[in-house]
Structure 1
C-alpha cells in the first residue's frame, strides 16, 4: 500500500507525508489554517469545474469537517452550527454532507458513522482508511492494486459496485511503539 502524496505539505489527516508519521503535528508546529485553506480552495475549484454551488451552508459544513483531522458525526456538526445564522436541521446537514461526498470533498467512515475531509478531492479515488483502534487516528491511503482487486472480484460475480469503502482497524506506529515500551519497561 502506498500513501497518496498531498500537496498540503504538512497535512495528511493528523499525519505528515506518510500515514501515521508524527513529524510536524506532534511538535506543535502544525499550522492547521493551511489545511483548511487548501480544503476550501480545492472545494471552490472542484465545484466550479462541475458547475455546482458551494452554498454558505455547504461551505460551513465543510469547515466543520475540517475543524480538526478527527472524524466528526453529522449531529456533532449540527450542534456546532446551532449558534450560526444559517438554518440547520438534521436533513439540511445530511444533504450538505451528501453534496460534499458526491464531489469528493469529504469521505464517510462507515464504521464510525462519521465524516473526514478528503485531502485530495481533485483526483478521483476510492478513499481507503487505516484506523487506529487505540488512539483513533485515521490515515487515508490509495492503492490502485486494491481498487483493481475489488473491481475484478465484483465483476467476476456480475456485481455492479457503486462504491467500495475499505477500513482497516489496527494499531498505528505510535500506539505500537507505546505497547513495545510498556512490555520492555522494568
Structure 2
C-alpha cells in the first residue's frame, strides 16, 4: 500500500521504464489504472476501478479498464486474484521475472480481505515437481490460500 505521493510517482515512473524496456508503453490511461490499483491498498475489482476512473475522467466503458488491466498483468505490474476476481499490485513489479514470471502465492483473509503476496520458491518447486510427476508441464502458477490473518485471529 502506498502512503506518500512521491513514492507513488516513483513506483509509476519505474513501471513506465519497465514497460519501455520491454517495448511497451504505459499510456496515461494505463498509468491511471495502475495508480488506482496501488491506491486501493487491497485487491480491487475492475468495476470499482471503473467507478473511480469515471469519477476522474468522465464516461468510460468496462472494456477500457479490462484492456488496461490485461496490459498491466501482461507486463507483470499487477496480479489477478481469481478467487476474488480482483487485482493487486505485484510486490516485485518492474523486476525481470523471466519467461514464466516469478512464483507467487497469495494469503487472503476471509474476514478482513487483506491479501499478502508471497514469493516462496520452495512452494513453486514443490508444485512444479508434483505437476511433472503427473505428466504436466506448468506454464504459470498462482496459489491463492484463503484463511484468517494474524490480526483477525487475535
Scaled to the shorter chain, the TM-score interval is: 0.7 to 0.9
Where structure 1 has 5 or more consecutive residues not aligned to the other structure, the ranges are 1-12, 14-29, 178-186
- CA distance in 2 between counterparts of 1:34 and 1:104 reads 22
Report the Cα distance in structure 1 between the residues aligned to 2:129 and 2:47, rounded to whole angstroms.
37
Which position in structure 2 is the counterpart of 1:146? 123
Which gives a bigger RCO, structure 1 or 2 (Cα 8 Å, sep 6+)? 1
Q: CA RMSD in A?
A: 1.9
Aligned-residue offset at 1:39: 2.6
Structural mapping, 1:67-78, within 5 Å? 67-78=39-50
Distance apart, 1:86 and its partner CA = 6.9
- What's the CA shift string for 1:91-149, capped at 9, x where partnerless? 12111101100111001111100001112113321321111111111111111111111
With normalisation by structure 2, the TM-score equals: 0.86
Aligned twin of 1:103? 75
**In structure 2, do the counterparts of structure 1 residues 40 and 86 end up closer, same or farther at CA, with 3 Å as the change threshold?**
farther
TM-score normalised according to structure 1 size: 0.73
Q: 1:97 to 1:146 in 2, by over 3 A?
A: same
CA–CA separation in structure 1 for the residues paired with 2:136 and 2:59: 40
Do the aligned residues in 2 keep the contact of 1:57 with 1:86 (CA within 8 Å)? no
Point out where structure 2 has 5 or more consecutive residues left out of the alignment. none
| Selected match of 2:136 from 159, 172, 183 | 159
Report the structure number with the largest CA radius of gyration: 1
Structure holding more strand per residue: 2
Q: Report the secondary structure of 1:52's partner residue.
A: coil
**Range moving further from structure 2, 162-171 or 91-100:** 162-171
Query: Does structure 1 residue 37 correspond to structure 2 residue 9?
Result: yes
* Superposition deviation, residue 73 in structure 1: 0.4
Structure showing the higher helix proportion among its residues: 2
The residue that corresponds to 1:131 in the other structure is 108
Question: Distance in 2 between the 1:115 and 1:161 partners?
Answer: 22
